[in-house]
């Protein structure tokens, strides 16, 4: 058996609440092998999104571990965390709240590439390629998020997440 690419053990996230705590995630464990896909299914509010946010370290856990390619995500040094951030991308649940309304689609998708230091012309080409990958067209690049349907906006978020080939 191949070593897991992602390994989650006894992960917990408890949020403080008016009375006591909300046990949003309370001891989840799973492993994902390279090339494997995991779907997490459950009723609304059962902790799926919180699990996802923990796994990319958008939030810190109450306890438990996440190992990405063998390295403990919560004790990585700056350089290690930077590399991990490139290799794991998050597609936000709400495509209306997660795209900056003032930015063009091209700028939204190109932002991770810009941060990674990709030159202008290579960025432009990659944005067009990504638009096609998600079923949009390069003609959409100059438009703003409000000009798209919810499903199209979600695909803009997917294109952005794929930009750095996570």
Contact residues: ligand ATP, CB under 6 A: 15, 22, 24, 42, 44-50, 93
Element (H, E) at 9: strand 6-16
Shortest distance, CB of residue 24 to Mg ion, whole angstroms? 10
83 binds, among Mg ion, ligand ATP, none (CB under 5 to 8 A by kind): none
Number of residues that bind Mg ion (CB under 5 A): 3
Considering only residues 82 to 101 of the shown chain, the ones binding Mg ion according to CB under 5 A are: 93
The DSSP secondary structure of 124-166, one letter per residue, reads HHHHHHHHHHTT--GGGTTS-GGGS-HHHHHHHHHHHHHTT--
Shortest distance, CB of residue 55 to ligand ATP, whole angstroms? 12
Q: Which is nearer to ligand ATP, 42 or 97 (CB)?
A: 42
Cβ proximity of 104 and 144 under 8 Å: yes
Identified binder of Mg ion from the candidate list 49, 65, 104, 118, rule CB under 5 A: 49
Q: Running DSSP on this structure, what letter comes out for residue 88?
A: -
Tell me the CA end-to-end span of the chain in Å, nearest whole number: 23
């Amino acid at each position: 058996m191949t070593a897991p690419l992602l390994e989650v053990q006894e992960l917990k996230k408890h949020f403080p609440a008016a009375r006591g705590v909300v046990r949003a995630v309370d001891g989840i464990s799973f492993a994902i092998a390279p090339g494997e896909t995991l779907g997490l299914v459950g009723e609304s509010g059962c902790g799926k999104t919180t699990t996802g946010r923990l796994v990319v370290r958008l939030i810190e856990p109450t306890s438990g571990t996440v190992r990405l390619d063998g390295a403990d995500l919560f004790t990585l040094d700056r350089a290690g965390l930077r590399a991990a951030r490139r290799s794991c991308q998050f597609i936000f649940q709400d495509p209306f709240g997660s795209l900056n309304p003032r930015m063009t689609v091209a700028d939204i998708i190109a932002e991770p590439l810009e941060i990674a230091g990709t030159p202008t012309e290579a960025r432009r080409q990659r944005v067009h390629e990504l638009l096609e990958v998600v079923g949009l067209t390069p003609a959409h690049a100059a438009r703003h998020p409000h000009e798209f349907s919810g499903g199209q906006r979600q695909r803009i978020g997917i294109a952005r997440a794929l930009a750095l080939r996570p």
